A = this chain, B = another copy of it.
Amino acid sequence: MADKTLDRSSPDNDVRWDHRWGYTDTRFIVHDDRSIELTGSRYNLAGYRMYDFIPFLESQLGISFDPNNRVDERPDKPVPAPVRNEPFIAALQSAFSERHYSLDDRERLIRSHGQTTADEIYKVMYGELERVADLIFFPESEADVETLVSLASEHNVCVVPYGGGTSVSCALKLPRFEERMIVVADTRRMNKILWIDEENRQVCAEAGITGKDLEDALHARGYTTGHEPDSIELSTLGGWIATNSSGMKKNRYGNIEEIVENVSMVTPRGVVEQAMAAPRVAMGMQPQRLLFGSEGNLGLITKAVLRLHKLPEVKRYGSVVFPDFPTGVAFLRELADRGVLPASVRLVDNLQFRFGQALKPKSTGLKAFESKIQKFFLTRVRGFDPKKMAATTLVMEGGEDEVALQEKLVYGLAKKHGGIRGGSSNGQRGYMLTYAIAYIRDFMAEYHVLGETYETTVPWDKVVEVCDAVQHEARVQHDKFGLPGKPFVSPRVTQLYRTGVCIYFTHGVCVRGIDDGAEVFGQIERAIREKIMSLGGSISHHHGVGKLRKPFLPDTLSPSSIALIRGLKHASDPQNVFGINNNVIGDD
């Protein structure tokens, strides 16, 4: 794997968009017949015309879609000349060959942002970034990282770890007031699997490996880590740890902190790691636990050991339709009390349910007939209101016996709550949408519609209240700023816990004709987060804090907790080499 990439600045410059989400073979386009299509053949949703999308959008956003009113990406993106710390550059040049670093404008700009819509993507594509990286470094080993950090300490340079670039919390946004030279360390050449221990079910991989590469390699050997964040194609192992990532199938495999057994991080004071990767140890205070969520503040993660599972014998999708969202929540509530849960259980609201339908191809023949029968049954026979129905989607994994029990428990309980089994293809469809959503965001942005996703943890008794309140607040804010039409706000419950859930919102607004549309959207987002937290929601379930949610930390941690972490940072990195200033560290 590594060989192929050594002589290129970035392993995937050729296949990934510079700034927008994902792969260059994939984007939504509009046809003359007002159908839209996802190009390429990478996704199941690609290669056919979707006729219902634009009408659905127009009705939901209360606007008319004009294919000719497009915003074009700025071609002449401004990139300031780099801050040059000459003694550092000289030292770097004598320590490394040229393939290890770049001062190229494009390379620098690509790695000066994450994927936050308003504050990062919109700015870089249509406006200007406030701070751009001065040099990109491409470490190929832990030793390279140690040398870099040592030189940075010596010459007072700021180092920023960079993985898949998929952050949506402004964690990769560079501190605008940073006057030192900023070196972004792109970890993606460190993408090797170092060892697999089949007997003890462990894999050790370098931190720059993407989820897709890791899982492809493991699948070939009959294993999986089971970690499936929505960004799995692009995000990296190191990034998962640094953000405290969550996977879709955490019921079976756990979240990242339950999957990773050892982390190595290069800090200005040396390598923080455990001697042994063990499932569970009482070793006193465990420094490793702080590395989850460190968001680049403490050091650069170079490798990690993860738990392996054999690929499941059986994997089945499923779905259940409920008359409305609160009924679906009541079903989840009871399901969460069971010891046996499907790997993934989600609940989408009516809007997202219909969103999924709007991305279907035109049904013909038997399929159309079946689809009509299904609809007839749900609406006429069972009296479900098509504008209220909500759907639960399921991924079940395990031995045949296990999956059979999951099905029995889930469908039995669903029936009790008035749910109707909706078939496996509808279930699978729900998950396909996950990978398409960011491409839709970038497509819509070209037509003045800004979209963002955000998430929170809430206790059970607040699920419906928080969903309603976010929708209400979005309308209030929309009107306050005089935006055209109405907001699209759609929640889904993506993770179940004993004591609550993760709610994941998709939010879109049209800013056509509005000055500073992105800024307005950012303000609306903050108002909504305030509302969420006032009702007992958390600062974030898995996206993290970054810089986007810094203002909400005082509502999250006691002052002494914040002081504790700041004290730790100061003790471990007194020069602030890792000066990315995320979460409790520094100012934005």
A residues sitting closer than 8 Å to B (CB atoms) are 197, 199-202, 243-246, 252, 255, 261, 267, 269-290, 292-295, 297-298, 307-310, 337-340, 397-399, 401-402, 405, 408-409, 457, 459-461, 495, 497-500, 502, 536, 538-545, 553, 555-561, 563-568, 570-572, 582-584
The answer to whether B397 touches A499, judged by C-beta atoms less than 8 angstroms apart, is no
A339–B398 touching, CB < 8 Å: yes
Q: Which of B280, B288, B541, B583 contacts A280 (CB 8 A)?
A: B541
Q: How far is the CA of A57 from the CA of B276 in the complex (A)?
A: 37
The 6 closest A-B pairs by CB, nearest first: A567-B571, A284-B583, A270-B560, A279-B497, A289-B289, A200-B459
Instruction: Check B276–A538 contact: CB distance below 8 A.
Output: yes
B572 near A538: Cβ-Cβ < 8 Å = no
Task: Give the CA-CA distance A11 to B471 in the complex, in Å.
Answer: 52
Partner of A405, one of B310, B402, B560: B402
Contact A499 B201 (CB under 8 A): yes
A274–chain B nearest beta-carbon distance, Å: 6
A310 closest partner in B (C-beta): B337
Is the beta-carbon distance between A561 and B280 smaller than 8 angstroms? no
In the complex, which of the residues B255, B499, B582 contacts A261, with contact meaning CB atoms closer than 8 Å?
Answer: B499
A286 to chain B, nearest CB (A): 6
- Taking a contact as CB atoms under 8 Å apart, the answer to whether B398 and A340 are in contact is yes
Give the residue name and chain of the B residue nearest to A459 (CB).
B200
Given A461-B200, A571-B567: A284 and B340 within 8 A (CB)? Answer: no
User: Are A397 and B287 interface neighbours, CB within 8 A?
Assistant: no
6 A-B pairs besides A200-B499, A275-B557, A283-B556 with CB distance below 8 A are A199-B460, A201-B460, A202-B459, A283-B293, A283-B557, A338-B398
A199, A273, A279: most-surrounded residue (chain B CB, <10 A): A279
A277 and B545 alpha carbons, distance in the complex (Å): 17
A278 B555 Cβ-Cβ under 8 A:
no
The number of times this chain is found in the oligomer is 2
Q: Of the candidates B272, B281, B293, B498, which one forms a contact with A558 in the assembled complex, judged by CB atoms under 8 Å apart?
A: B272
CA distance A571 to B573 in the complex (A): 13
Asked whether, in the complex, the Cβ of A401 is within 8 Å of the Cβ of B408, the reply is: yes
- Smallest CB gap from A455: residue in B: B282
Min distance, Cβ A282 to any Cβ of chain B, angstroms: 4
| Structural contact, B561 and A307, CB atoms closer than 8 A | no
Contact in complex: B274, A556 (CB < 8 Å):
yes
Contacts of A201 in B (CB 8 A): 337, 460, 498-499
Shortest Cβ distance from A500 into B: residue? B279
Nearest residue (CB) in B for A343 is B339
Query: Which of B197, B269, B297 makes the CB contact (< 8 A) with A285?
Result: B297
Q: Whole-angstrom distance between the alpha carbons of A457 and B277 in the complex?
A: 10
How far does the Cβ of A524 sit from chain B's closest Cβ, in whole Å?
A: 22
Q: B residues within 8 A CB of A309?
A: 337, 498
Partner pick for A402 among B298, B340, B495, B498, CB 8 A cutoff: B340
User: Is the pair A273, B539 in contact by a Cβ cutoff of 8 Å?
Assistant: no
Q: Check A280 against B495 for contact (C-beta < 8 Å).
A: yes
Q: Kindly report which residue of chain B lies nearest to residue A565, judged by CB atoms.
A: B285
Instruction: Given A289-B289, A308-B498, A568-B567, check contact A457 B280 (CB 8 Å).
Output: yes
Given contacts A200-B461, A280-B246, A398-B339, contact A269 B409 (CB under 8 A): no
Closest Cβ of chain B to A478, distance in Å, is 27
Q: How far is the CA of A310 from the CA of B338 in the complex (A)?
A: 9
A498 to B271 alpha-carbon distance, docked (Å):
27
Inter-chain contacts of A498 with B (CB < 8 A): 201, 279, 307-309
In whole angstroms, how far apart are the Cα atoms of A544 and B277 in the complex? 17
Q: How near does chain B come to A271, taking the closest CB pair, in angstroms?
A: 6
- The answer to whether A293 and B297 have CB atoms under 8 Å apart is no
A37 → chain B closest CB, angstroms: 35
Chain B residue at minimal CB-CB distance from A308: B498
Residue among A294, A409, A572 with max Cβ neighbours from chain B (10 Å): A572
Separation of A270 and B245 alpha carbons in the complex (Å): 30
